[in-house]
Amino acid sequence: MPSITTNDLKTGITLELDNGLFQVIEFQHVKPGKGGAFVRTKLRNIRTGNVFDRTFNAGIKVEQAIINREDMQFLYRDGEEYVFMNNDTYDQMNLTAASLGEVTDYLIEGMSAQIGFHNNEIIGAEIAASVELTVAVTEPGVQGDRVSGARKSATLETGKVIQVPLFVEIGDKLKVDTRTGEYITRV
């Protein structure tokens, strides 16, 4: 594992600390008028998703984790598992919903994803910032009920429930932000 100093921390770097793998979400280098400098960070546990704050003294060494990312295509769902194919070797791999995280709310057949590996262990998946999904179930909008900013629930083809404007109907294709789970626009 390569060692880096806390002065070299950047957003997105994955660290291997004493109790697991952590991704740097935010960092701030602080040099107070008195005393030594320090680095205030916000870290996300890769396995559990928990976010917490941690402060390091400036210049101390930490272990950077090497994450291998492979482009894979989602083929189909097999019971509780998701079957992916490596785009280069055409090898298939079954992944659990727990290892994929919230990505499962947006996966449709044929979609590409980047699967992250650390020491041959799957640590997560990343997909595009927005995806286009079809509305499977929603209530019809009431004629004349056009309150500005009014929303209703809609269930997407993947089973994810989001809030959408009143004019959205069953069968509409929507662009959804995968980071926040919010409606962007109708396609």
Angle at 29 between CA 124 and CA 33, to 5 degrees: 160
Residue 73 has pLDDT above 90, yes or no: yes
Q: How far apart are CA 186 and CA 173, in angstroms?
A: 6
Length of the chain: 187
In this prediction, residue 84 carries a pLDDT of 94
In this prediction, residue 167 carries a pLDDT of 85
In this prediction, residue 154 carries a pLDDT of 93
Residue 48 has pLDDT above 80, yes or no: no
Residue 4 has pLDDT above 90, yes or no: no
Residue 50 has pLDDT above 80, yes or no: yes
Number of Cβ within 10 Å of residue 129's Cβ equals 10
In this prediction, residue 86 carries a pLDDT of 92
User: Which domains does the chain carry?
Assistant: 3-64 (2.30.30.30), 68-126 (2.40.50.140), 131-186 (2.40.50.140)
In this prediction, residue 34 carries a pLDDT of 85
Residue-wise pLDDT tens digits, 125-184: 889 999 999 999 998 876 665 666 788 899 999 999 999 988 888 999 999 999 888 999
In this prediction, residue 147 carries a pLDDT of 63
Mean pLDDT of the chain: 88
Residue 106 has pLDDT above 80, yes or no: yes
